[in-house]
Structure 1
């Protein structure tokens, strides 16, 4: 085709060249395999059943094209504009769609009286196994029943996309945004969902077996309809549906009324990184697995709170009252605990009378390496298997503390207050 030859001359900056404009043309069934069509215009063209295997379609204008049942295996569509395209049953196996735009598009008619027609990118039943879709924008696209086995969708935008019945087994979705997506009947077994945003996603009959879900955001997600067999849920996070200040206020009411009024703070796995909670009373709160990296908690009250497996790296807890706290297996690397109190709580019976028994602060298995514990009180605390490498222990009260198998600098230990059995 002369038009294609002129386009190749244009790409090579040879005389007689010109950018190919195939907009609106009917090229159904044409064989365009392995051609260099980079930056060509195909807006509104009919490319159904076209053979484009191995073709270079980078930066192409493919706005609202019809590529139904087209063969695009191993084609390059880097930064191609595929908004509103019809790609039903298309074959993208091994294709490169990095940073491609697959959102919906508005088709404007020549008649001013007719409104624009909004078209949703249709990739239903498409074959996209091993396709490269890093940073592609597929927000709102219909990918129902597509096969995307081991596809790379790192940092891709799939907000509100229809992923019902899609096969994403073994796919790479690290950092992708699937907020509001429909994952009904989807197969995400063995997929990498590290840091993925699943806020408000529909999970029903979804296979997530053995999926890597570390740091995934699961706000307003019901995982009851998912198969999570063998999935790694470490440090999954959920953003807050209400202001943290409102949560703390209701929690204080709950504490002061002995649970009669207010609401206990349920902040398990919540992302509270760098939040300013100085002076807050979160005694008895559920903060299991919460992310509090760099949070400001100076002067706060965390008496009998559950912070097991929480991430408090670099957090400021100076002067915090944390008697009876559960910090087992928590990450407190480089945390500031100067003058903090992590002593035992006296257990009382239902009548409020002392029983003579104590509930010690539990830091078993916690990582306190490089933490500043100057003047902190950890008397009677459980520090078994705690990592105190490089921790500052000047005038730290360790009397009665359990230091069995703890990793501790002997020079720093000499600066602490301790008894002969510690």
Structure 2
């Protein structure tokens, strides 16, 4: 936290003089002081002093929302909404437009804020416990010291929001500043749900994000210095450029997370599961990775691999009666060659094969969920019925690869399709590849080359196809519902 954060800023609080009385600025909240508590110990009771909140009815809120709309449009009679120190628990604020409104120290516990527009709003030390913030817009909002415990932030947008620590202060009977509100001085998002939330460029230093579900969240360039993310679920999240200096990620799940250019300085990663995580560069011997769960290095030409392949070949030829199925789960064979090898039906979850020569491989019905296949060569590979859920194939070469369905004789399932849900396929080359009937929901195909590819019957619901080249592709019966930037 910068030194400028130590003082009261933006006219949101006054200062206490020697007499203990407070001098309020024009925009300050009556009877309270909002200040970030850093570098100074303020007098505290055993528990924070309870704020005397002004209870508002649903009708009161609706009238203030209407008045705020008049103010924003420049019409006479309007006024900027101020809910500072108000009790809004359980009220309906669904879809309201309250950008720039003041909620300092307010309680919005259990409130319905779905699709609410709260950009640049002042939510300093606001109680948002168990609030429903799905699809809400909170870009550039001041959320220092806010409590989001148990809140639902699924698909919310919090770009450049300030979620650092802060504490609401008020003078007691003797004029001393004491902490007010709920039991935290750090932004508390513990046990919250923030699936696909956009927190890019947010400030979250010292934030308390324990056991929070941040699956597929956008955390690019987020400042998480000294933040507590222990046991958080960061599966598929994008942490590119994030600052994790002294952050606590003990026991965190980072399956398939993007960790390009992340600052790992004194970061606690004990028992953090990094299987399937994508690094731009990583020193496995660095102290912070010593107790993390990382894939084990596998020599593609070593005795272990040769023994495994012989047993797997016998297993395939005997339909499982002899030999043993190959299992490369959580193994790292980056930069090596497995060209032409038969690993059909192998267990390869979380395998790391970045930059590998995998051309002409047989991978029929192999389970490669969360596999890291960035910039690998899979040209002409037989991958019918393969599972690549949440796999990372950014920049991979799959020209002529076969990822269509496979017919299973004697099974109730007559056609086993390839599964690539949530896979990262940006800049991948699928030219001439067979992706017929493949399940590709929520895939990222940004800039992918799909020229002359067979996409007949494929499911591309909610896929991202920005700048993807689909010239000559067979898109008969392809499901593009919800897909972005489809250019046929």
TM-score (norm 1): 0.51
Asked if residue 178 in structure 1 is aligned to residue 234 in structure 2, the reply is no
- Alpha-carbon shift at residue 272 of structure 1 (Å): 9.3
Which residue matches 1:41?
A: 97
- Alpha-carbon shift at residue 230 of structure 1 (Å): 3.9
- Alpha-carbon shift at residue 43 of structure 1 (Å): 0.5
Which residue matches 1:149?
A: 210
Distance in 2 (alpha carbons) for counterparts of 1:83 and 1:273: 46
Distance in 1 (alpha carbons) for counterparts of 2:188 and 2:239: 20
Q: Given that residues 69 and 90 in structure 1 are in contact (C-alpha distance below 8 angstroms), is that contact kept between their aligned partners in structure 2?
A: yes
Q: For residues 318-357 of structure 1, what are the structure 2 equivalents within 5 Å? A: none
Asked if residue 90 in structure 1 is aligned to residue 146 in structure 2, the reply is yes
Which deviates more, 192-201 or 221-230? Answer: 221-230
String of CA shifts for 1:201-246, please: whole Å, max 9, x gaps: 000100111111111111134566553344221279xxxxxxxxxx
Distance in 1 (alpha carbons) for counterparts of 2:336 and 2:237: 21
Match of 2:359 among 272, 275, 296: 296
Distance in 2 (alpha carbons) for counterparts of 1:273 and 1:201: 29
Q: Give the secondary-structure state (helix, strand or coil) at the position aligned to 1:48.
A: coil
Which residue matches 2:58?
A: 4
Asked if residue 196 in structure 1 is aligned to residue 257 in structure 2, the reply is yes
Q: Given that residues 200 and 221 in structure 2 are in contact (C-alpha distance below 8 angstroms), is that contact kept between their aligned partners in structure 1?
A: yes
Which residue matches 2:40?
A: none
- Alpha-carbon shift at residue 54 of structure 1 (Å): 0.5
Which residue matches 2:187?
A: 126
Which deviates more, 188-197 or 220-229? Answer: 220-229
Q: Given that residues 99 and 118 in structure 2 are in contact (C-alpha distance below 8 angstroms), is that contact kept between their aligned partners in structure 1?
A: yes
Give the CA RMSD over aligned residues.
3.8
- Alpha-carbon shift at residue 187 of structure 1 (Å): 0.5
Distance in 1 (alpha carbons) for counterparts of 2:336 and 2:208: 37
Q: Given that residues 188 and 207 in structure 1 are in contact (C-alpha distance below 8 angstroms), is that contact kept between their aligned partners in structure 2?
A: yes
- Give the structure with higher Rg (CA): 1
Asked if residue 101 in structure 1 is aligned to residue 192 in structure 2, the reply is no
String of CA shifts for 1:186-205, please: whole Å, max 9, x gaps: 01011100011000000010
Distance in 1 (alpha carbons) for counterparts of 2:145 and 2:243: 20
Q: Given that residues 146 and 163 in structure 2 are in contact (C-alpha distance below 8 angstroms), is that contact kept between their aligned partners in structure 1?
A: no
Which residue matches 2:275?
A: 214
Distance in 2 (alpha carbons) for counterparts of 1:51 and 1:139: 26
Match of 2:122 among 63, 66, 69: 66
- Alpha-carbon shift at residue 297 of structure 1 (Å): 6.4
Distance in 2 (alpha carbons) for counterparts of 1:181 and 1:273: 33
Q: For residues 23-42 of structure 1, what are the structure 2 equivalents within 5 Å? A: 24-42=80-98
Which residue matches 1:137?
A: 198
Which deviates more, 73-82 or 17-26? Answer: 17-26
- Alpha-carbon shift at residue 121 of structure 1 (Å): 3.5
Which residue matches 2:132?
A: 76
- Alpha-carbon shift at residue 147 of structure 1 (Å): 0.4
CA pair 71-270 structure 1, distance change in 2 beyond 3 A: same
Q: For residues 157-168 of structure 1, what are the structure 2 equivalents within 5 Å? A: 157-168=218-229
- Alpha-carbon shift at residue 122 of structure 1 (Å): 3.8
String of CA shifts for 1:269-309, please: whole Å, max 9, x gaps: 548999x99xxxxxxxxxx95346883269xxxxxxxxxx9
Distance in 2 (alpha carbons) for counterparts of 1:310 and 1:5: 54
CA pair 220-55 structure 1, distance change in 2 beyond 3 A: same
What 5-or-longer segments of structure 1 have no aligned partner?
Answer: 10-16, 105-119, 237-267, 278-287, 299-308, 319-422
CA pair 186-269 structure 1, distance change in 2 beyond 3 A: farther
How many residue pairs end up in the alignment? 244
Q: Give the secondary-structure state (helix, strand or coil) at the position aligned to 1:227.
A: helix
String of CA shifts for 1:113-141, please: whole Å, max 9, x gaps: xxxxxxx5444431000010110000000
Q: Given that residues 201 and 219 in structure 2 are in contact (C-alpha distance below 8 angstroms), is that contact kept between their aligned partners in structure 1?
A: yes
Distance in 2 (alpha carbons) for counterparts of 1:90 and 1:30: 15
TM-score (norm 2): 0.44
Distance in 1 (alpha carbons) for counterparts of 2:94 and 2:148: 17
Distance in 2 (alpha carbons) for counterparts of 1:4 and 1:273: 66
Which residue matches 1:420?
A: none
Q: Given that residues 155 and 198 in structure 2 are in contact (C-alpha distance below 8 angstroms), is that contact kept between their aligned partners in structure 1?
A: yes
Distance in 1 (alpha carbons) for counterparts of 2:257 and 2:352: 17
